[in-house]
Amino acid sequence: MYDLLIRNGKVVDGTGNPWFYGDVAVQGEKIVAVGRLDDKRAKRTIDAEGLVVAPGFIDSHSHSDEALLINPKAESKVFQGVTTEVIGQCGTSAAPRVEAAESNWDLPRWHSLGDYLDLLEKQGVAVNVIPLFGHGNVRRLVMGMANRPATAEELRAMCQLADAAMREGAFGFSSGLIYPPSSYADTHELVAVAKVVAAHGGIYATHMRDEGDNLLAAVSEAITIGEQAGIPVHISHHKTCGEANWGKVKDTLALIDAKREAGVDITLDQYPYIATSTGLKVIVPQWAHADGVEAMRQRVSDPQIGAQIRAEIAAQGYRWDWILVASCRKEENKQFEGKSVEEIAAMTGQAPIEAALELLLAEDFDVGMVRFAMCEEDVELVMRHPLVMIGSDASALATSGPLAQGKPHPRAYGTFPRVLGHYGRERGVLTLEAAVHKMSGLTAARFRLWDRGVLRPGSYADITIFDEERVRDTATFVEPHRHAVGIHYVIVNGQMVIDQGVQTEHLPGKALRRRP
């Protein structure tokens, strides 16, 4: 007798193969049979007639590192059908870090990646976790926020930290080349760290140096790192920002295709929105971030240096009506959440640049933003590409409690149902099979997890069951803390996390460690 038998479903197995009607049987943590199982019995049976049975979705680009310790239920993700998250993105990860590193939350202390993964397992977590370590973390540990090339000794120290993180189970490393201190590294430094990671069979994921005017050069650097280090390259949230740059993804995708044809291992991920989200402090020139927040405060406040900073911000030509403040920490500034910088400027009687800098200064530069910067044609073109998988670029949030603050990007709640509903069912950008593959089997294969991301005997029972005609995102930029609809069941390692549309108390996720 099976533990669980899912009957009569429209099975989309995650490989990209055509759907078929069938049953899926689960025993313990594993799928043990797929097909017509009419004569079999189980402790629990789910009638999935009229529903799609698919592998649990794998969020290929997540920032849930701390969020999973704050709220292990990962609510905004599991209600989308997500069963696994790839964390440690954009050069910033939970570890390695200084043990007493500052945090906005009262969390246990940890230092190494192994410590963090042990902490997750001890606490329990609703989803599986695939960890990367951040290049920014190892650079900060060795060099602080120094804006200069690493010395040979410093580079050796970074490589030692990289080696330790890989031995503790990291699947690779990430860079955030618009975020100091990762952005202060040259290509030589990144290649050196990448060689250490490559020796362990890891991957290099990159938030590139530029996603606008210099997009092609940024892609070329990522490819160069892959070629020189002999490491698989994964380009994060591929897009092009700014009206003058729309359409450039045709050229980048052509370059990537040509390089892959020549033997360079490259893949990409994407979130299905035309707006980005990051910290508002990215408007401040990178050089002004050197040596930390207080040094940046002094530079912004200095009459001469501040004038240079303002001139460089002005030269970027930002559409201030396209930049929304997503989150503030101080109560007196929460009135600005959900407002554009242009609106805040009108409210405060300042020019937009001054309004933005004044808010940053008041919040110690910790202000979240949403920026509308892409076009739908580019989003759809990238989505169709066979090398592109789906990632939310968001942390797990919740509709109540400490993770329910602000006006975050709706991708935290809506990414995967939006691909299925808006871009799949309504726009016809992807077939059902292609959409599920990009959200499961493709990502599992990229991280060499051969027993996840597909529905086949021997695979872990990470399963999402949804209504193909009803699944959709409901989160908006005005009301982002809204769960998706149409996801009926979510099963992680054989246990129910979403049961008939309601989250259970089960925390069956695993902290996955790369196997040699």
pLDDT in tens, 154-202: 999 999 999 999 999 999 999 999 999 999 999 999 999 999 999 999 9
d(CA 455, CA 14): 7
CA nearest neighbour of 71 among 393, 412, 355: 412
Instruction: Quickly tell me which residue has 């930002």 as its tokens.
Output: 318
Q: Looking at beta carbons, which pairs linking 352-355 to residues 24 or more positions away fall under 8 Å?
A: 352/318, 352/320, 353/310, 353/313, 353/314
What is the predicted pLDDT for the residue at 354? 97
What is the predicted pLDDT for the residue at 102? 62
CB hemisphere CA count around 332 (13 angstroms): 3
Residue 345 phi, psi (nearest 5): -60, -45
CA nearest neighbour of 56 among 390, 425, 412, 428: 390
Tell me the C-alpha to C-alpha distance, in Å, between residue 325 and each of 62, 64, 71, 75.
Answer: 21, 20, 24, 23
What is the predicted pLDDT for the residue at 109? 87
Confidence of residue 225 (pLDDT cuts 50, 70, 90): very high
Reduced to 3 states, what is the DSSP secondary structure of residue 155?
Answer: helix
Does position 57 have pLDDT exceeding 90, yes or no? yes
What is the predicted pLDDT for the residue at 108? 86
pLDDT in tens, 335-391: 999 999 999 999 999 999 999 999 999 999 999 999 999 999 999 999 999 999 999
Bond before 181 cis per omega within 30 degrees: yes
439 contacts 451 by C-beta, under 8 angstroms:
no
129 contacts 510 by C-beta, under 8 angstroms:
yes
CA nearest neighbour of 68 among 484, 471, 433, 507: 507
Compute the average pLDDT of residues 278-302: 96
What is the predicted pLDDT for the residue at 106? 79
Domains and CATH numbers, the chain: 56-277+373-450 (3.20.20.140), 279-369 (no CATH)
Compute the average pLDDT of residues 91-114: 85
pLDDT in tens, 480-513: 999 999 999 999 999 999 999 999 999 999 999 9
CA nearest neighbour of 364 among 435, 272, 296, 282: 296
Tell me the C-alpha to C-alpha distance, in Å, between residue 247 and each of 63, 97, 142, 208, 381.
Answer: 28, 39, 40, 18, 9
pLDDT in tens, 14-54: 999 999 999 999 999 999 999 999 999 999 999 999 999 99
- Model pTM? 0.96
pLDDT over 70 percentage in the chain: 99
Tell me the C-alpha to C-alpha distance, in Å, between residue 448 and each of 79, 131, 337, 441, 512.
Answer: 25, 13, 40, 10, 12
